[in-house]
């Protein structure tokens, strides 16, 4: 994946987040699963861009300013007059489990591949060295948008890009339609080089009885590299015929587990881009996820992440 000059492109949605603090008050922030990963990739020194659509409002201006401050290129972010980004109200329970309530049905990110400028987005993606998206990304798009997105992935792979995917299954995002979810996922998985699933998500969507069965199912799609996250348990890394369990180096009680998987994925991909073997990349990913879940919020201050 080490192609100097080329960049990683993460694709998805950034929402305005109202996050409830310990004092009961709400603080304004912004985030989203693929955006969180983009932030941590950029902090690791990876040349990173983000692809989405935002409005022309002050909150969208704030998201662009955050991306710029984190060193994320914004040339693949479309601005749509008269539209507003989605809104997420986020809380955590007593053990740090996140709960989110969303108002996102009219967010412009849903139409990313249907705007007149969608070909500009496609061109940026096809020039990438790494493309990262999730099941949440897929849930945004109509069938027409999905067709354009999947075709873009095919062209990018022909150009030498690697495609990384985390199923990140959220039933509400798919309106409970498991059949459509599985169909869309299967089409996407045919175009994936690196799978980064969370075992609990895969068990819910596919009924996988073990991380090993998740690996076997994904390998049937021809996916060459798989790292199955499993909470505080060891991650299972599969590359070719080799399989290895990589233990969490330090199990901590999460203060806020909101972006645990997003951080793991960023740590893993950044390490792989930098030349680490998969097992070492999983170890680095565990450490970044550990630092993130020790604090509230998906995007934690740089000073609070160990190196």
Per residue in 85-115, pLDDT tens?
999 987 777 666 777 788 999 999 999 999 9
Residue 9: which of 128, 114, 117 has the closest Cα?
Answer: 128
Q: Are 85 and 106 in contact (CB under 8 A)?
A: no
pTM assigned to the model = 0.94
pLDDT at residue 196 is higher than 70: yes
Per residue in 17-67, pLDDT tens?
888 777 888 889 899 999 999 999 999 999 999 999 999 999 999 999 999
262 noted as active-site residue: yes
CA atoms within 13 A of residue 115's CA, in its CB half-sphere: 22
Residue 268 — φ and ψ, nearest 5°?
-65, -50
| Confidence class for position 185, pLDDT limits 50, 70, 90 | very high
Q: Enter the tokens of residue 238.
A: 């599969």
Per residue in 134-143, pLDDT tens?
999 999 999 9
- Alpha-carbon 132 to chain mean position: 7
| Confidence class for position 305, pLDDT limits 50, 70, 90 | low
Residue 78 — φ and ψ, nearest 5°?
-80, 145
Structural domain 8-298, CATH architecture: 3-Layer(aba) Sandwich (3.40)
Residues 6+ apart with CB under 8 A from 218: 189, 195, 197, 226
Given the residues 33, 166, 208, 262, the one annotated as active site: 262
Per-residue pLDDT at 96: 61
The DSSP bridge partners found for residue 134 are 166
Rounded to 5°, angle at Cα 68 from 306 and 265: 45
Per residue in 215-253, pLDDT tens?
999 999 999 999 999 999 999 999 989 999 999 988 787
| Higher-scoring residue by pLDDT: 285, 306 | 285
Residues 6+ apart with CB under 8 A from 184: 138, 146
24: left (phi over 0), alpha (psi -120 to 50) or beta: left
């Amino acid at each position: 994946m080490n192609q100097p000059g080329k960049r990683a492109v993460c694709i998805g949605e950034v929402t305005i987040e109202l996050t409830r603090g310990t004092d009961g008050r709400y603080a304004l922030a912004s985030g989203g699963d693929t955006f969180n990963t983009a932030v941590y990739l950029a902090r690791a020194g990876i040349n990173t861009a983000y692809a989405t659509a935002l409005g022309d409002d002050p909150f969208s201006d704030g998201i662009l300013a955050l991306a710029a401050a984190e060193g994320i290129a914004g040339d693949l972010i479309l601005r749509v007059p008269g539209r507003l980004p989605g809104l997420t109200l986020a809380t955590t329970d007593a053990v740090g489990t996140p709960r989110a309530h969303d108002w996102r049905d009219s967010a412009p990110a849903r139409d990313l591949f249907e705007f007149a400028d969608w070909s500009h987005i496609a061109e940026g993606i096809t020039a990438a060295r790494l493309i990262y998206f999730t099941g949440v990304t897929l849930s945004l798009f109509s069938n027409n948008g999905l067709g354009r997105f999947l075709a873009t992935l095919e062209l990018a792979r022909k150009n030498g890009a690697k495609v990384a995917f985390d199923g990140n299954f959220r039933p509400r995002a798919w309106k409970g339609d498991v059949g459509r979810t599985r169909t869309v996922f299967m089409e996407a998985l045919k175009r994936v080089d690196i799978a980064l699933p969370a075992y609990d998500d895969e068990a819910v969507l596919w009924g996988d009885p073990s991380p090993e069965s998740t690996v076997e199912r994904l390998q049937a799609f021809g996916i060459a590299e798989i790292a199955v996250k499993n909470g505080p348990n060891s991650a299972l890394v599969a590359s070719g015929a080799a399989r290895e369990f990589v233990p969490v180096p330090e199990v901590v009680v999460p203060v806020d587990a909101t972006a645990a998987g997003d951080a793991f994925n960023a740590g893993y991909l950044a390490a792989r881009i930098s030349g680490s073997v998969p097992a070492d990349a999983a170890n680095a990913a565990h450490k970044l996820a550990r630092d993130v879940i020790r604090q509230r919020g998906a995007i934690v201050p740089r000073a609070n992440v160990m190196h």
